[in-house]
Amino acid sequence: MSVKYNALVVFLFMALPGALNAQGACGPESRAFDFWMGEWDVLNRNRPAEDVRWYDTGTATARVYPVVAGCGLVEHWRGNAYGEFVVGFSLRAFNPQRGQWDLILLWPNSGQPRFGELYGGFRHSRGEFFSQNITESGDTAITRFTFSDITPNTLRWQDGISTDGGRTWDSSWIMEFSRREPLYQGALLNGPAVTTLRCPGPEYRGLDFLIGEWAGAVEADSAEAEGMGVRSNITPILDGCGLMEKVSAVGQTSAWEVFRAWTYEQALDKWVGYWLDTRWPVIQRLEAEVPPAGAPWVFQTVRPEPLDGDLRATMDRGVDGSVTWRQERFNAEAGQWEASPMVAYAERLGAPSQGG
């Protein structure tokens, strides 16, 4: 990559420090979780099955911060609960299409990571978020997560399970959050250093070639994309069970951000990712089969017929190590897929960084 190009990218990223915030497409509803941003100490209390008593089972550390120009929040969680060391990750954003929050969770403590989804919102300063699944016995189980007792420096989270349609709830986990120093930016302190991978199998290493910090450019197919530089930072998370990526693109007249989180789901034999983009601020799930050597990766929304805004993307890895993304969104009104400008990661800027 030329010195002239590098100078242009640096100039653009310095010249427009507020561009991403100015162009975020998120409404005031996206601020509902702002109370949770920051660094937290967490006291875990658990209740074993068939027991009426609650027990303190360990402490943890949580870090919550905004992504995608404030359209979403990311959580990293590490600590002790249920007598074992636990790690967790979540991405959440308000979905204006449904008028609810989408919560995407990845807690790979079984050794086989799998994303989970909950939906809900806040009412009277209490947040309630739900999902449904079918138990092994064929019953419908409803999961509920609640956020309550919210103050500037404390809050309470509690789980709940109902098998009678929500008439009664059984709970086994309470987290009591206490805020750390407001400007604390240290490491997540609880738990041992990562010396072994929680997901060691080769199937989980399929996207490790992306890890690191990258600089590139957006294909100039429009005046808006003219001179647009891209920075991407891709880090491992959850002790090697997943990856996350933060992308910032800044041009002379526009800017945008993307956040992506991936893991390999063994039950599907696919890589699964959740993406959030300022240009379309709704979390989307995409899946990709591992391609043959030398073939591109193809990520796409999986459903019988595409819906408006559905995404599909192709990632090519060049022989020189560069990475090129080509992306399309479905326009339901036109009944066709429409291409976005191509994004090329042309230069790795430094050694791969360590994630949470």
**Is the pLDDT confidence value at 60 over 90?**
yes
Domain 28-179 has CATH 2.40.128.20: yes
pLDDT in tens, 30-42: 999 999 999 999 9
73-88: average pLDDT? 94
- Contacts of residue 46, defined as CB under 8 A and 6 or more positions apart, other chains included, come to 54, 55, 57, 81, 82, 172, 173, 174
Predicted pLDDT at 245:
97
SS3 of residue 232 by DSSP: strand
Closest Cα partner for 203 from 269, 294, 116? 269
Q: Residue 165 is encoded by which pair of tokens? A: 């349609």
Q: What's the mean pLDDT when you consider all of the chain? A: 87
Predicted pLDDT at 21:
43
296-309: average pLDDT? 92
129-154: average pLDDT? 93
Task: Kindly report, as residue ranges, where domains of CATH 2.40.128.20 are found in the chain.
Answer: 3-24+196-348, 28-179
Superfamily of domain 3-24+196-348 in the CATH hierarchy: Calycin beta-barrel core domain (2.40.128.20)
- pTM attached to this predicted model: 0.88
